[in-house]
A = this chain, B = another copy of it.
Amino acid sequence: MPKLDLDSIPQTNATGYPPEFADKVQERWYRALAPAAGLKDFGVSHVELKPGAWSSQRHWHEGEDEFVVLVEGEAVLVDDSGRTALRPGDCAAFPKGDGNGHVLVNESEESCVFIAVGKPAASDCHYSDIDMHLEEGRGFRRKDGSGF
């Protein structure tokens, strides 16, 4: 049956971020829907941000498009142009290589939920506000190329 039983899909707060940058996403709880549903053309995540949680560190990808739609609660989209409130039904798109670091932050007192579509990050990813860079094939490094 094509409707997804979300409760049956494992929810995780795992992150590959180094410990010093992981605190913002500790209460980001996500489900990888595409493998659970047998989809291969693109990735889909169901993401719940508890109050205070961030969707990621603010970043942009060189090689992967991203799309999000908010389905529950409220979030603040922070990017180079400032702060924008997102409410259920609001959509945001992050074309690859646009150089505009973005993040969703839950500043409310209730959880918010969004669906994120993209591909697994394979290209370089740039972090706008912290000394971290995701280098293709080498994982997370400091901006001078050194390891954590």
On A, residues with C-beta under 8 Å from B are 1-4, 6, 33-34, 37-42, 44, 46, 64-65, 67, 69, 71-72, 77, 79, 81, 84, 86, 88-96, 98, 100, 102, 113, 115, 117-119
Least CB distance from A107 to B in Å reads 16
CB contacts (< 8 Å) of A4 on chain B: these are: 90-93
Residues in chain B near residue A40, CB distance under 8 A: 65, 95-96
A92 lies within 8 A of B41 (CB): no
Cβ–Cβ contact B39 & A90, under 8 A: no
The answer to whether B38 and A91 touch across the interface, beta carbons within 8 angstroms, is no
Copies per complex of this chain: 2
Could you tell me the distance in whole angstroms from the C-beta of A80 to the nearest C-beta in chain B? 9
Q: A64–B90 Cα gap in the complex (Å)? A: 25
Inter-chain contact B65/A41, CB cutoff 8 Å: yes
How long is the Cα–Cα vector from A60 to B113 in the complex, in angstroms? 29
Closest to A84 in B: B3
A71-B71, A117-B117, A118-B41 as given contacts; A3 in contact with B65, CB under 8 Å: no
Task: Return A137 CB to nearest CB of chain B, in Å.
Answer: 20
Cα separation A93 to B69 with both chains bound (whole Å): 16
Q: Say yes or no: A86-B3 contact (C-beta < 8 A), given A33-B93, A115-B115.
A: yes
Question: Whole-angstrom distance from the CB of A106 to the nearest CB of chain B?
Answer: 16
Chain B minimum-CB-distance residue to A70: B71
